[in-house]
Amino acid sequence: MKLYCLSGHPTLPCNVLKFKSTTVMLDCGLDMTSTLNFLPLPLVQSPRLSNLPGWSLKDGNAFLDKELKECSGHVFVDSVPEFCLPETELIDLSTVDVILISNYHCMMALPYITEHTGFTGTVYATEPTVQIGRLLMEELVNFIERVPKAQSASLWKNKDIQRLLPSPLKDAVEVSTWRRCYTMQEVNSALSKIQLVGYSQKIELFGAVQVTPLSSGYALGSSNWIIQSHYEKVSYVSGSSLLTTHPQPMDQASLKNSDVLILTGLTQIPTANPDGMVGEFCSNLALTVRNGGNVLVPCYPSGVIYDLLECLYQYIDSAGLSSIPFYFISPVANSSLEFSQIFAEWLCHNKQTKVYLPEPPFPHAELIQTNKLKHYPSIHGDFSNDFRQPCVVFTGHPSLRFGDVVHFMELWGKSSLNTVIFTEPDFSYLEALAPYQPLAMKCIYCPIDTRLNFIQVSKLLKEVQPLHVVCPEQYTQPPPAQSHRMNLMIDCQPPAMSYRRAEVLALPFKRRYEKIEIMPELADSLVPMEIKPGVSLATVSAVLHTKDNKHVLQPPPRPAQPTGGKKRKRASDDIPDCKVLKPLLSGSIPVDQFVQTLEKSTHRPPVPFLLEQHGFSDIKVEDTAKGHIVLLQEAETLIQIEEDSTHIICDNDEMLRVRLRDLVLKFLQKF
Amino acid sequence: MDPECSRLLPALCAVLADPRQPVADDTCLEKLLDWFTTVTEAGSSLLLLQENPCLVELLFRVLKSQDLSSRILSFSLRLAGIFAAQEDCFQYLQQGELLPMLFGEVGPLGGAAWTAPAVRSGWIQGLRTLAQHPSALRFLAACGAVDTIFSLQGDSSLFVASAAGQLLVHILDLAMRGPAEGRCSPQACDWPACAQKIVCHIEDSLCSIATPQVTQALNVLTTVFGHCHGLWTQGLWVRLSPLVARLLEKDPVPASHSLVDLLLSVARSSVPSSDRGLWETLAQTLSHLSPTQAGPLALGILKLQDCPQALRTQAFGVLLQPLACVLEAAAQAPGPPGLLGGAAGDPMTVDVLLCSKSACVGLLCCALTHLGLLQPLPQRPSPWPQAPLLGAAVTVLRLCSGSVAPTSDVGGRLCAILVGCGRVQRAALDFLGALSQGAGPQESVMQVFSVLLEYLMSPESSSMVLKKAFQATLRWLLSSPKTPGCCDLDPRTQLFLRELLPVLQKRLCSPCWEVRDSGLEFLTQMTRHWGGQAGFRQALLASEVPELTKQLLQDPESYVRASAVTATGQLSSWGLLAAPASPERPGAQQKSLLVELLHVLCADSEGFPRRAVMQVFTEWLRDGHADVAEDPERFVARVLQAASRDQDWEVRAQGLELALVFLGRLLGPRGSHCPCAVALPEAAPPGTLAQALPEAAPPGTLAQALQVLCRVQLFEFAFRALFDCDRPVAQKSCDLLLFLRAKAAPCGSPQEAGDSPNVASVEATLQRWQAGEQGQPLGYLEPGAVMAVLRSIDLEGLRDTLAESSDHVEKSPRSLLQDMLAAVGVLGENEADCY
């Protein structure tokens, strides 16, 4: 069993598991932090961005000045943003049989995999994952395609040139594999390969393994996966949450008794408690708006935004913000708000029950009805007519490199009355803000990450007790910035195995058993014999038939009736040899008794002509790691008694060997 | 005894002794016992039994009856104990052999009833009451009761077990009080047999290998030294102390909690004056017990008034140990040894701190709490290591917030255990607050303020932690030194304020109401103390805090609204609520607050904000708030009108408080007798209420004051309150009217209005009000009529009636007996009062 690690990002994993005869890809997350190296794509012509000076080498050489621009001491690539794909060289991705998706954030690289690697398998995901994943991809494609950029920079990627660049460009990894965003056509094609599944549904893969999605509690439709055969169980935990937010709670019980638990997608901000952050978010929002400032919340169009809107729904009246407009701007804003209301079966119990009242499960419906929350596909069109300040705007993209957020950053960045509040934990807010410097607006960092923290992980592991834990290397040591926080790492026994990008792990367990079915008529013919209470044995002669990874014991075909010359011969060739078998032995040899028997002089050997033989008087017994050795010194004979074998080593005296063998057999059961 | 009760008693006894009659409830039986106790305390029990033979008969019948409830049996045992407490009555009951039958082995002791804990408890309590005289001691010895009590010490019922221990102490005390009194010889031969037996039992228990027995013995001894003050206790200690000391040799020390209690109890008794060895035992115990167990002992020792300095030092060391370990573990570089008064990090304490989260948290919380309790005591150790303690508290808080990066291994593990631990954070913040009473080096104080600010800012601070952080901050702010020669805040505090106010501002916007509430409380307190300080005023007015506070008057949470009312009231008192009013419209902003608060008083659906408004208004009136001073009559009239309609009795009571303040301002404070002598305008401070009295009223006359009171309809309010269904309101109103009458009496009535037609109608209305029909208003009252009515009402009588508890009529023994009989249907009709 092997694990191929194609992504180094702990929360955007992409791993391939080879298990039995199947090749299973676990998630295909897309690392978008690469876009932070690019200049933002403004929706409206931005004189500031277009007038940034080109960057030149220390010696004044300015051959890169078209590709690289400088802003407040940082250098950015002036080109269409590109993403860092999962490894494609480590394993032939056309051999992947299935892809299991755990949540909508972890499928963003799907079109790259399914459309460009020869992949012919099936993708499994829950319905909300697919629908919301589609929205995220649609938004991404839309954000990038609606601001076409003629220029595509590639000079800087040359290894010799990259070395000369300032950080962080200099240190960017695998830049040659960075790719531009996929197209909507590719998205559609990729999504058409997905087969929808429900929680706890058992899906057979070629009869060899069974995969099952379990609720992970993190997002609408988010899942952990169980991949199991009859005797082995691998759990894949990715992006789970134990907090009570909108999705169905996490199913922990089904993760029990795993041989291996692959653990990814823990919180990216282990030191911040989501409740505290929501409080911080609300307080800062209220303070800004009261002062007449605007609040900008860069966010994804689905996920935490539902919880934030719910909090605000309860909070705005108490904070006297009822008259402040909330705008949600995204090409998929409408679909996202509406989709959330129809996935009742994927919601937490509380929200499910509302559906029967009937009430919309999320209160943002009421915010929309009362005109407190308005949503628009983009800043163009209706929005510009309705726009009223001060206001609160939720819009993407959280990287601040594309999407409507770029416009608001340019618009509001100059006033210290305004505030940008970062709630998504995926991007470093300081890096996100770099191309907007100098910036007068206030910046508040309230990352809300509801995924498991290390305390919850340690409780979870105690509860489900996997034999082995496998996780990204980042989780096996405290974060570099807080190296003293020994509690910010996974602490389990045996220690977790860690992986990094482009590494292949041999998972530490051996398959020992395989399930074989016995046909009823064959089973009928068996005559079990009880060898000890509760354990019966029977010998069986049969034909093992293997197809689609299923093994069946069938009765051996009867010897064919002689019907004709040639045919008969052929038939008899097929029949396995059904020799009369020697009886099978079972039981253990009690060494003391065995030795006593050897010593007894009155012992009558079973072979008549050895009647006069005396007992052995010079017996020595040695204990070994596996059993015992009985040494008959005079006869130069060794009897090795081990758990599953007994050897009589007696070079010259076949008679003696046979006698000893029969003695040994006396202590064993035969059938 | 009341003849009526005597008449009812036989029937009641018959009911009690009849197993077919269920007895109402336990409380009736308890009340009955209370009553018998009162009766026997007042007179002779013997006489009582002779006059009421039914009582003895009851006891006999109880003994004979087979299927009587355990409650009645228990009751009878306790009743017999009450009677037998008097020696002559004891003899009387002895003659009938009643007592051995009740308390001896032939009684319930051997029967099935003994399985009921109530019976065992009744048996013990009966004996406890009975054991008052030498005859009782002989009786106890004769019937072998002491052995039974020994066994009851380990009873499965905790109440029985504890009562058994106390009974042993009582018997021992009784035995030693007689012949042995005044002797302190430890020689057992001098002691009465009964006492000897008990002491031997204690000795055996102390030597036992079973911890529960050791615990029992230690608990008995703790009670002995806590409650018995005879000289013999010193002898007892001399005799038992070697056994107690031997407990310390065991590992682990058995029953350490009880041992600590005993040693502290002995240390507080008269023993130390005779036995200096006690201090050695205490010192040994401190060093033998684990750090967690030793903490309470150390605190107890430090609280003792008189104790050797060496022991105090040792005890203080024990308390400081955990903090010393923390300081040492978190130190970036090895600091000077013995940072905390010679207490270096002891490996044993470090082990406890690191062994588990609960042990670590427990030990640290105890250490912090103990030191916090010690801080304000006059006998606290001196020199008090203020600076290292400040450092330790700050370090603990930083470890909990994860903002310190210890380099040592121990520090790292401590940090992992403590990070985010709310319990330690709260304890440490409380402790830090307590430390504000002492000064500290400049650098430490800076650290304190910085860690407090860190906590107030952190989104990770829970609402309880924030509350504590606010409290600690307030204590530190208020204790910060004044700049010499300048009455304003020192520059450091001002700097801190400038950082603090934005945080407070954010906290007032918190979605968590507890946080908003504690923020407002903090603001109120700060303003109360610093409202007059220019530095504070300047910083506050430059912030948005006053505006936010005012907005919180509309908060959805009633507690927050109440706190916002108090806070705005306080801000307004100091003129801090808004930017200084423009010259054209002085006080325009303030007036709107008055209107707003009146609106809260009239319209808020919850009691807390309305109560808060009444308190603010009372304060405003008392302090002569400018806004009130403008037209106090109108103000009082509006407030009283609103308060009189309020459903909440506390609001009405506060209304009377406000009325009293108003009276005080008009007529002079309570206690000064002749209001005529009070020259109103001169006596009152400038710019306050008195100046604003109607100009038409010439100062110094009661008549005008009464006119004012009539105009604001204070009398209508007070008379209504007089018949309020809530007693505290009625009492307060009664006090107010009595005060008013006393003030007015010496001056005579301005106009004899006894026969005025108005008086009759007022009295008629009042009578209807008293009867519960409060619909009709009094209408406008003339001062003369008011005085006449005041004189005609029996206010003193009313006050006395109100002073009685509300069930005083129903509490009589006769009523009790009637109730009990009525409950079982013995009385023909139910004459009982319902209560």
A286 CB-side CA count, 13 A: 28
In three-state secondary structure terms, B77 is helix
pLDDT in tens, A2-56: 999 999 899 999 999 999 889 999 999 999 999 999 999 998 888 898 899 998 8
d(CA B539, CA B500): 10
Peptide bond into B22 cis (omega under 30): no
Q: Is A51 exposed, middle or buried (0-12, 13-18, 19+ CB in 10 A)?
A: exposed
Residue of A nearest to B553 (CA): A318
d(CA B101, CA B64): 10
Tell me which residue in B402, B512, B554 faces A279 most closely, judged by beta carbons: B512
Q: Does A640 touch chain B (CB under 8 A)?
A: no
Kindly list the residues from chain B whose CB atom is less than 8 angstroms away from the CB atom of residue A482.
402, 405
Q: Once rounded to an integer, what is the mean pLDDT over residues B695-714?
A: 69
Please name the residues between 498 and 517 in chain B that touch chain A, using a CB distance below 8 Å. Answer: 505-507, 509-513, 515
Cβ-defined contact of A317 to B556 (cutoff 8 Å): yes
B697 pLDDT more than 50? no
pLDDT in tens, B324-343: 888 888 876 555 545 555 55
Please name the residues between 529 and 568 in chain B that touch chain A, using a CB distance below 8 Å. Answer: 544, 548, 551, 554-557
pLDDT in tens, B490-520: 888 888 999 999 999 999 999 899 999 999 9
Residue of A nearest to B508 (CA): A283
Q: Does B460 touch chain A (CB under 8 A)?
A: yes
Closest CA to A51 of A78, A84, A33, A91: A78
Q: Is B699:B679 a contact under the CB 8 Å cutoff?
A: yes
d(CA B618, CA B628): 10
Q: Band of the pLDDT at B695, cuts 50, 70, 90?
A: very low
Cβ-defined contact of A286 to B509 (cutoff 8 Å): yes
Rg (CA), chain A: 35
Tell me which residue in B458, B460, B556 faces A318 most closely, judged by beta carbons: B556
Cβ-defined contact of A484 to B406 (cutoff 8 Å): yes
Kindly list the residues from chain B whose CB atom is less than 8 angstroms away from the CB atom of residue A278.
511
For A569-583, A614-628, B192-206, B803-817, which range has the lowest pLDDT when averaged over its residues?
Answer: A569-583
Cβ-defined contact of B506 to A484 (cutoff 8 Å): no
Q: Does A481 touch chain B (CB under 8 A)?
A: no
Cβ-defined contact of A276 to B458 (cutoff 8 Å): yes
Closest-CA distance, B491 to chain A, in angstroms, reads 27
B180 pLDDT more than 60? no
Cβ-defined contact of B507 to A311 (cutoff 8 Å): no
Kindly list the residues from chain B whose CB atom is less than 8 angstroms away from the CB atom of residue A273.
420, 459-460
Most confident listed range (A556-565, A594-603, B378-387):
B378-387
Between helix B232-247 and helix B211-227 the angle, nearest 10°, is 150
Closest-CA distance, A278 to chain B, in angstroms, reads 8
Which string of DSSP letters, residue by residue, matches B413-456? HHHHHHTT-HHHHHHHHHHHHHHTTS---HHHHHHHHHHHHHHH
pTM strictly above 0.95: no
Cβ-defined contact of A487 to B415 (cutoff 8 Å): yes
Kindly list the residues from chain A whose CB atom is less than 8 angstroms away from the CB atom of residue B418.
none
pLDDT in tens, A391-414: 999 999 999 999 999 999 999 999
Residue of B nearest to A288 (CA): B506
Q: Does A483 touch chain B (CB under 8 A)?
A: yes
Q: Once rounded to an integer, what is the mean pLDDT over residues B119-130?
A: 94
Residue of A nearest to B509 (CA): A283
Residue of B nearest to A311 (CA): B511
Q: What is the DSSP letter of A401?
A: S
Q: Does A273 touch chain B (CB under 8 A)?
A: yes
Q: Does B419 touch chain A (CB under 8 A)?
A: yes
What residues contact residue B45 under an 8 Å CB cut-off, 6+ apart? B82, B83, B84, B85, B86, B88, B89
pLDDT in tens, B448-488: 999 999 999 999 899 999 999 999 999 999 887 665 556 67
Torsion sign across C-alpha atoms B698, B703, B707, B708: positive
Q: Band of the pLDDT at B181, cuts 50, 70, 90?
A: low
Kindly list the residues from chain B whose CB atom is less than 8 angstroms away from the CB atom of residue A483.
405
Structure ipTM over 0.85, yes or no: no
Residue of A nearest to B412 (CA): A484
Q: Is B425:B383 a contact under the CB 8 Å cutoff?
A: no
Q: Once rounded to an integer, what is the mean pLDDT over residues B141-167?
A: 91
d(CA B289, CA B316): 15
- Buried b / exposed e over A209-228, threshold 16 CB at 10 Å, is bebbbbbbbbbbbbbbbbbb
Q: Band of the pLDDT at B685, cuts 50, 70, 90?
A: very low
Q: Once rounded to an integer, what is the mean pLDDT over residues B434-453?
A: 90
Kindly list the residues from chain A whose CB atom is less than 8 angstroms away from the CB atom of residue B360.
none
Chain B contact probe: residue of A267, A277, A283 with most B CBs at under 10 A: A283
Closest-CA distance, B489 to chain A, in angstroms, reads 28
Taking phi first (over 0 means left), then psi (-120 to 50 degrees means alpha), and beta for anything else, what does residue B381 get? beta
B397 CB-side CA count, 13 A: 31
Closest-CA distance, A291 to chain B, in angstroms, reads 9
Query: What is the predicted pLDDT for the residue at B350?
Result: 80
Query: What is the predicted pLDDT for the residue at B677?
Result: 37
Kindly list the residues from chain A whose CB atom is less than 8 angstroms away from the CB atom of residue B548.
290
Q: Does A292 touch chain B (CB under 8 A)?
A: no
Q: Does A204 touch chain B (CB under 8 A)?
A: no
B767 pLDDT more than 80? no
pLDDT in tens, A229-243: 988 999 999 999 999
d(CA B723, CA B770): 5
Tell me which residue in B411, B415, B509 faces A287 most closely, judged by beta carbons: B509
d(CA A632, CA A47): 100
Strand partners, B702: none
d(CA A190, CA A192): 5
d(CA A334, CA B772): 63
How many A/B residue pairs have CB atoms within 8 Å? 73
For A499-513, A642-656, B122-136, which range has the lowest pLDDT when averaged over its residues?
Answer: A642-656
Closest CA to A500 of A1, A84, A9: A9
Residue of A nearest to B416 (CA): A487
More confident residue, A319 or B366: B366
Q: Once rounded to an integer, what is the mean pLDDT over residues B171-200?
A: 75
pLDDT in tens, A272-290: 889 899 999 999 999 999 8
Cβ-defined contact of A283 to B405 (cutoff 8 Å): no
A602 pLDDT more than 50? no
Q: Does B457 touch chain A (CB under 8 A)?
A: no
Pairing of strands A627-632, A619-623: antiparallel
d(CA B691, CA B682): 9
Chain A contact probe: residue of B509, B510, B518, B551 with most A CBs at under 10 A: B509
Kindly list the residues from chain A whose CB atom is less than 8 angstroms away from the CB atom of residue B411.
484
Closest-CA distance, A282 to chain B, in angstroms, reads 6
Rg (CA), chain B: 35
